[in-house]
């Protein structure tokens, strides 16, 4: 007779992971090294809650139209007041405060909570009309932590729960702050261990693309799509930018097809085209091909100038790129570290000016032996409208985010991870009656600043205990029984040396043991441990 009852099967949710010590070590290396760079530039470490009110996270995610799409949201079990725009409680016709179970969301990035944090600190002054938008406070912070997104496609290095490491400056429209973002990203990559020419910080300016599209008349046309829905210039601009953003993946020819009648992707699936006129498509194609084979920032600026575009927004963006280029050249950040990429778009909803993306140029082989790239590992840009969407105050801001897990995956896949850190000095337990002595020895070693573990498992055999110690990468094992206690000696086994390849070639167990295992006087134990670990 079969048991047809529902059972509990231990398993993880797709896109979520258990983080093992080696990956944790990689994560904290990235956070620590990059954090040190951020501090050097004057950023302070702040944290915000993992859960926020959904309306305080904004009405969109990057590249999404609604808060529900791609976000983990739920209703607050606690009823709380509903507020008017002026901060007063909303009341019904009987003058009772209207209560609601507000929507809450797991944060999907660290930028939207930053906007809430900055806005909340300004809110009371804003209500009193004490804020002068031309003189808003400067705020610079860095933050790291978990973010959550419902990703439908889980590529290598992409997860539904992952860590980001952000730095942002709010309260300045000075383009020097954007140039500094490029420098910080480059410095952080090299502090983490990426060698020059294995990464590139790509920079563009959204104003350049917007101005170009204005120049060729995008905002003056209307398109009726397959569902007979009319699109205005802003909507058409967003659609064009989404397609242009694919140029690195699918090439200019396929982009041109998607701007027109449509194309087929690599799987054979039909991609519906935007059905732009031939005249518009030709101008966009000409723009994209203008930068083919060009690598230096100077050449890209020259080519942008040669386009002779009169649009004001385009030229604002070009002037900003010129300022960034001059600053980078003056300080010594050359094209091998920071490059201009005029076709790069990044998040549609956020960015209003310069945009940044760090790409890995390294390749790895997947489980099927295919050569692959991890791609983008950091991104950011100028986002001058995020605070304004919350409380109506213009607060220009710029910053970037390192994808900690994505970068850790890159280091792992390209075999750039550090050796696993030493585990604790391991004390083998031969006799529970000697536990007091084991504890004394452990306390002495810990007091010398060395992590130490006593074995408490049920598998008491020496081999089982040493296998456990090896899994934890313990450098030394302390072996002591009643006879050793009486003689005032301790046996120390060098587990790290025992795993050395040269030691594996020694066939005589007595010779091997003599090299790996030493008897040490009790009073000399600490100095011997320190000396051995530091070798």
Distances (CA, A) of 2 to 5, 6, 8, 159: 9, 12, 16, 37
Model confidence over 452-464: pLDDT tens digits? Answer: 999 999 998 999 9
**What is the pLDDT at residue 128?**
64
Reported in sequence order, the residue ranges of 361-424 that DSSP labels E, i.e. its strands, are 363-365, 371-373, 376-382, 397-403
Quick one: pLDDT band at residue 366, thresholds 50, 70, 90? confident
- Contact residues for 534 (Cβ-Cβ < 8 A; gap 6+): none
Q: Cα(182)–Cα(337) distance, rounded to whole angstroms? A: 9
**Tell me, what's the pLDDT at 67?**
47
The alpha-helical segments, DSSP class H, found in 430-533 are 435-447, 462-471, 482-487, 495-498, 501-504, 509-516, 525-533
User: In this predicted model, what pLDDT tens digit does every residue of 144-165 receive, in sequence order?
Assistant: 999 998 877 777 657 899 999 9
How far, in Å, CA of 268 to CA of 60, rounded?
A: 32
Question: Radius of gyration of the chain from Cα atoms?
Answer: 30
At 60, the pLDDT band (50, 70, 90 cuts) reads very low
Question: What is the number of H-type helices and E-type strands within the chain?
Answer: 18, 24
Please, which residues have CB within 8 angstroms of residue 104's CB and are 6 or more apart in sequence?
51, 52, 53, 54, 73, 74, 75, 76
User: 16 pLDDT exceeds 60?
Assistant: yes
Determine the Cα–Cα distance for residues 488 and 263; give it in Å rounded to an integer. 81
**Band of pLDDT at residue 228, cut at 50, 70 and 90:** very low
C-alpha–C-alpha distance, residues 224 and 231, integer Å = 6
Residue (of 425, 457, 461, 421) closest to 441 by Cα position: 425
Cα 114 to Cα 416: distance, rounded to the nearest angstrom: 32
Tell whether the model's pLDDT for residue 229 goes beyond 70. no
190 CB contacts (<8 Å, ≥6 apart)?
196
Q: How far apart are CA 513 and CA 516, in angstroms?
A: 5
Q: Which CATH number fits domain 425-533: 3.20.20.70, 3.40.50.800, 2.40.50.180, 3.40.50.2000?
A: 3.40.50.800
> pLDDT (tens digit, 9 = 90+) per residue, 434-446?
999 999 999 999 9
Question: How deeply is 12 buried, as exposed, middle or buried, from its count of CB atoms within 10 A (0-12, 13-18, 19+)?
Answer: exposed
Q: pTM for the whole thing?
A: 0.87
Question: Can you tell me the mean pLDDT for 59-72?
Answer: 58
Burial class (CB in 10 A: 0-12, 13-18, 19+), 360: buried
Cα–Cα dist 451/480, whole Å: 18
Structure tokens at 511: 């010779």
Q: Which of 123-132, 359-368, 445-454 has the highest mean pLDDT?
A: 445-454
Q: Facing residues of 348 across strands?
A: none
Mean pLDDT value across the chain:
88
Q: What percent of the chain has a predicted confidence (pLDDT) above 70?
A: 93
Do the Cβ atoms of 324 and 181 come closer than 8 Å? no
Q: Domain 13-55+110-198+361-421 carries which CATH code?
A: 3.30.930.10
Most confident of 26-40, 123-137, 282-296: 26-40
Instruction: Cite the beta strand spans of 193-335 per DSSP E.
Output: 199-205, 223-224, 230-231, 262-264, 270-272
Residue found under tokens 């101008």: 283
The tokens for 328 are 């980078």
d(CA 47, CA 69): 25
| Higher-pLDDT residue of 214, 371 | 214
DSSP three-state, residue 195:
coil
* Residue 302: both structure tokens together: 């020259």
Q: How far is residue 360 CA from its own chain's centroid?
A: 14
Residue 406's pLDDT is 86
Cα dist from 155 to 15, 30, 159, 331, 406, whole Å: 10, 21, 8, 37, 11
Instruction: Please report the pLDDT score of residue 231 as a whole number.
Output: 62
pLDDT band at residue 61, thresholds of 50, 70 and 90?
A: very low
Residue 146: its H or E element: strand 139-148
For residue 222, the model assigns a pLDDT of 64
CA distance 144 to 489: 48
pLDDT at 217 over 50: yes
Across 304-318, 394-408, 510-524, least confident range:
510-524
In which element (H, E) is residue 426 found? strand 425-427
Which segments of the chain belong to CATH 3.30.930.10?
A: 13-55+110-198+361-421, 202-348
What stretch(es) of the chain map to CATH 3.40.50.800? Answer: 425-533
CATH node for 202-348: 3.30.930.10
pLDDT (tens digit per residue) in 42-55: 999 999 999 999 88
Nearest to 270 by CA among 280, 258, 256, 252: 258
């Amino acid at each position: 007779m079969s048991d047809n009852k529902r059972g509990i099967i231990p398993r993880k949710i797709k896109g979520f992971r258990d983080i093992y010590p080696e990956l944790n070590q990689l994560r904290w290396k990235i956070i620590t090294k990059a954090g040190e760079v951020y501090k050097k530039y004057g950023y302070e470490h702040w944290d915000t809650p993992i859960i926020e009110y959904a309306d305080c996270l904004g009405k969109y995610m990057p590249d999404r139209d609604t808060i529900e799409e791609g976000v983990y949201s739920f209703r607050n079990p606690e009823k709380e007041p509903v507020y008017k725009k002026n901060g007063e409680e909303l009341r019904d016709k009987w003058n009772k405060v209207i209560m609601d179970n507000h929507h809450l969301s797991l944060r999907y990035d660290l930028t939207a909570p930053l906007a809430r944090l900055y806005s909340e600190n300004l809110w009371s002054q804003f209500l009193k009309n004490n804020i002068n938008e031309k003189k808003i406070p400067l705020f610079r912070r860095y933050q790291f932590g978990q973010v959550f997104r419902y990703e439908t496609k889980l590529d290598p290095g992409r997860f539904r729960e992952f860590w980001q490491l952000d730095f942002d400056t709010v309260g300045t429209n000075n383009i020097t702050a954007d140039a500094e973002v490029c420098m910080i990203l480059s410095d952080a990559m090299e502090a983490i261990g990426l060698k020059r020419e294995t990464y590139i910080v790509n920079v563009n300016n959204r104003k350049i693309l917007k101005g170009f599209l204005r120049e060729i008349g995008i905002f003056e046309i209307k398109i009726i799509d397959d569902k007979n829905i009319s699109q205005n210039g802003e909507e058409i601009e967003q659609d064009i930018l989404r397609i242009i953003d694919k140029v690195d993946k699918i090439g200019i020819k396929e982009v041109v097809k998607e701007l027109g009648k449509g194309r087929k992707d690599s799987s054979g699936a039909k991609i519906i085209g935007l059905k732009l006129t031939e005249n518009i498509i030709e101008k966009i194609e000409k723009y994209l091909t203008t930068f083919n084979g060009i690598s230096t920032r100077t050449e890209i600026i020259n080519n942008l100038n040669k386009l002779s575009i009169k649009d004001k927004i385009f030229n604002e963006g070009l002037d900003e790129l010129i300022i960034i280029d001059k600053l980078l050249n003056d300080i010594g950040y050359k094209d091998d570290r920071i490059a201009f990429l005029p076709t790069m778009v990044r998040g549609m909803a956020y960015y209003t000016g310069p945009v940044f993306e760090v790409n890995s140029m390294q390749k790895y082989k997947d489980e099927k032996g295919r050569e692959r790239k991890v791609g983008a590992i950091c991104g950011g840009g100028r986002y001058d409208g995020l605070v304004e969407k919350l409380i109506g105050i213009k607060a220009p801001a710029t910053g970037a985010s390192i994808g900690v897990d994505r970068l850790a995956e890159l280091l792992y896949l390209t075999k750039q991870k550090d050796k696993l850190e030493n585990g604790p000095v391991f004390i083998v337990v031969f006799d529970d009656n000697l536990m007091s002595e084991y504890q004394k020895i452990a306390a002495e070693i810990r007091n010398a600043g060395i992590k130490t573990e006593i074995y408490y498992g049920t598998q008491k055999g020496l081999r089982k205990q040493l296998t456990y110690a090896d899994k934890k990468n313990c450098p030394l094992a302390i072996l002591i029984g009643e006879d050793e206690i009486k003689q005032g000696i301790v046996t120390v086994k060098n587990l790290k040396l025992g795993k050395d390849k040269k030691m594996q070639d020694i066939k005589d167990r007595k010779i091997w043991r003599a090299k790996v295992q030493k008897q040490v006087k009790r009073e000399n134990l600490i100095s011997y441990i320190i000396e051995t670990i530091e070798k």
